[in-house]
Structure 1
Amino acid sequence: MNDSCKNTGELRTYQHHMYAVVYSVILVPGLLGNILALWVFRVYVRETKKAVVFMMNLAVADLLQVLSLPLRIYYYLNNSWPFGHTLCMICFYLKYVNMYASIFFLVCVSVRRCELIMRPLRYNTSRRTADVIVCTLGWLLVCLCCLAFPLLRHMDTGATLPGADEVCFSELPMQMISSSAAWAILIIAELLGFIIPFSLVLACTCLTAGSLRRPKAGAIPDRGEKRRALRMTLSCAAVFLVCFAPYHITMPLDFLAKANTLSSCALRVLILRCHPVTLCLASLNCCLDPIMYYFTTDEFWKRLSKPDITVSENGTSSRPVS
């Protein structure tokens, strides 16, 4: 192996600087944007059909991801994790839980907006209850599936940086597993975590766009509402392409590089330099989602233009008569 593959210190420095800068940039807008989203959706959760329950859960997933960033920023700035192995594994685990929860709820938002355009009369109070059940099951499924990420890592007390307490996050050593098991995990992660969800979002986008050209019996006749739904599904697809597609392209390559299965040293270094960029793009969704709400959701405009809307005891919104 040549010197470029042995120069892990330079590569680690590059990764730490990139993570520290990007996470610092998205921390404040991600925090404020998702708090604002929850404040807005709390008012309209009982009176609108437009996937508000799913968007609230999406905002919660993004907010939880943002709240873990200060510890990550500390680690990448100081090359040290003094908070213990347990907290490290929790933060490492929650990173993937929040990312795949965001993917799940983006799909739910797209499906709901498409369904309301195609079959508006099918949505009722019982369906709203079903949305809550879907959210609960979604969180449970994501939390269960993402257990694979921390279980594939282990703490190596010898794996420390100079002057540091211990390493954390992606620098945690990987468990030794067979190549067949590794490929099975990667294929399942790619299918369930990206390919199937993205296909559903694209299908919803095509159906919504098609409803603008071909009026269908039972479909909502308001072309303005259809355009707003199309903007929402297009925004979900854009978030997938910008944030999650690059990450899921480099994820299996990064696994192969870290498992030392690539014969080309130059290719291995290139992958290890590109994967942090795609991981930063995946984290960017916690800032892009609030922007999507603002430009595609009527409730945001109503709430921000009428800040004196209040929530009554029965959960409905009202505005004082002037």
Structure 2
Amino acid sequence: MNNSEEYRTEPNLDYAVVFGSVIVLGLPLNAVSLWILLRRHSLKSSNAIFMVNLAISDLLLVISLPMRVYLYATGTWPLSSKACTCITMLFRNNIRSSSIFITLISVDRLLAVVYPLRSRHLRTASNAWKSVALVWLFVLMVNIPEGLAHARKLNNSSESTCFEFHRQQQQQEQPRSALSYFQLVLVVTLLTVNLVSTVLVSCSLHKRLNDSAKVNNKVNVMLIFAMNLVMFTICFLPVSVGVLTIKRHEITPLVCLASVNCCLDPLLYYFSLDAFWKKKEDVDLAREQQTRDNLFS
């Protein structure tokens, strides 16, 4: 199937509009957020390191969406099967990497709020970079067999489009791959970690309700965890379940929903980093003052 004329689907302007809207919002939001994170916040902070990599993951997703817009707007795929596989993997990689980075941000905030002094040796830039390297290595290791399987299935199917399968093929629907089950287990596990972190932080903040010196911007702290749970339950979980429970040609609405996560992630940067718009020197001074307050409280 090397001829682009064989890659066809029925045009769907609704899908094209959704993916186009994600591009219009997600590209500038993540690009500006990445610029602010790199320019105004030191990468010596574990939280900032996780945020930078989350923004990179979202930008990789956004740059893959124009071809989806073209496919659903015109009904044709002008590129090769290899290009289709690469773009498909960018989307799947975003779900995995984003969900992991969001969870790391939750755990980092949990340690900062509940165990501010005991966790200082854990919440270092060195440990953060090691975690980031492991995440990307994990994503790559999963991507290789999954990409090869996707390319093989695409080339062996006489009636497939780039991202979907025609209805005629559903009578011979193949069993779901082990990676599909792994995807669901991963998302559910990470969602559980976020739920536990939310409960622990909520209890800790409730005990310190009148102690503003220890935890500043309590509402913002809880908004971080609320946003994380929203992204898991709306963006990541439905598509992970849908891959196993519904037919392939019906999963595109859930793919649209999952892609919206790259527009929501910039809200995390605003709520999660103290003084997001301030220069990193001002933030460092604020952190030093917060440490002194913790030591003498």
TM-score, normalised by the number of residues in structure 2: 0.78
1:304-319 equivalent positions in 2, closer than 5 A: 309=279
> Paired residue for 1:248, among 218, 224, 240?
240
Report the counterpart of residue 292 of structure 2 in structure 1.
none
Decide which of 273, 281, 285 is 2:257's aligned counterpart.
281
* Corresponding residue SS for 2:275: helix
2:56 maps to 1:60: yes
Alignment CA distance shift 1:220-1:136 (3 Å): farther
Task: Report 1:201-216 matches (<5 A).
Answer: 201-214=194-207
1:109 partner letter: I
- Residue 21 of structure 2 corresponds to 25
Amino acid at match of 2:132: C
Distance (Å, rounded) in 2 between the aligned partners of 1:47 and 1:243: 28
Change in Cα spacing, 1:245 to 1:177, as seen in structure 2 (3 Å) is: closer
Provide the secondary structure at the position in 2 that maps to 1:159.
Answer: coil
The separation in 2 between residues aligned to 1:157 and 1:195, in whole angstroms, is: 32
Report the secondary structure of 2:136's partner residue: helix
Structure 1, unaligned stretches of length 5 or more?
1-11, 161-165, 259-271, 303-308, 318-322
Deviation string, structure 1 residues 181-205 (Cα, Å, up to 9, x no partner):
x46443322111x110000111111
Contact 1:104 1:197 in 2 (8 A): yes
Q: Aligned match of 2:125 in 128, 132, 136?
A: 128
Runs of 4+ in 1 over 6 A off after TM superposition: none
Checking the alignment, whether the CA contact within 8 Å between 2:45 and 2:124 is kept in structure 1 is no
Contact 2:146 2:179 in 1 (8 A): no
Letter in 2 for 1:156: N
Find 1:13's aligned residue among 5, 10, 35: 10
Count of residue pairs the alignment pairs up: 268
| Contact 2:48/2:273 (<8 A) preserved | no
Q: Name 2:96's counterpart in structure 1.
A: 100
Seen in structure 2, the aligned counterparts of structure 1 residues 210 and 156 have a Cα distance that, compared at 3 Å, is same
* Secondary structure of 2:99 counterpart: helix
Q: Tell me if structure 2 keeps the 8 A contact 1:57–1:105.
A: yes
Secondary structure (helix, strand or coil) at the match of 1:298 reads coil
C-alpha distance in 1, partners of 2:174/2:189? Answer: 26
Deviation at 1:50, TM superposition (A): 6.2
Q: Which residue of the partner structure matches residue 186 of structure 1?
A: 180
Q: Displacement of 1:226 after TM fit?
A: 4.2
Amino acid at match of 1:195: V
Distance in 2 between residues matched to 1:119 and 1:282, nearest whole Å: 33
- Note the aligned Cα RMSD (angstroms): 3.2
Q: Is the 8 A contact 2:42 2:280 kept in 1?
A: no
Identity of counterpart residues, as a percentage? 27
Runs of 5+ unmatched residues, structure 2: 1-8, 286-297
Q: For the Cα contact (< 8 Å) 2:40–2:277, is it kept in 1?
A: no
Aligned 8 A contact 1:45 1:53 in 2: no
- AA aligned to 1:27 is I
**Structure 2 vs 1, CA of residues 98 and 212 (structure 1 numbering), >3 Å: closer, same or farther?**
same
Q: Distance in 1 between matches of 2:123 and 2:197?
A: 23
Structure 1 position 225, deviation (Å): 4.2
Q: Deviations over 1:246-265 (max 9, x none)?
A: 212312113xx35xxxxxxx
**CA distance, structure 1, for counterparts of residue 44 and residue 220 of structure 2:** 15
Tell me the TM-score normalized by structure 1: 0.73
**Does 143-152 or 67-76 show the bigger shift?**
143-152
Summarize deviations over 1:184-240 as a string: whole Å, max 9, x none. Answer: 443322111x1100001111111110101235xxx9952434443222122111111
Distance in 1 between the 2:215 and 2:261 partners?
Answer: 29
2:245 and 2:212 map into 1 onto residues whose CA distance is 45
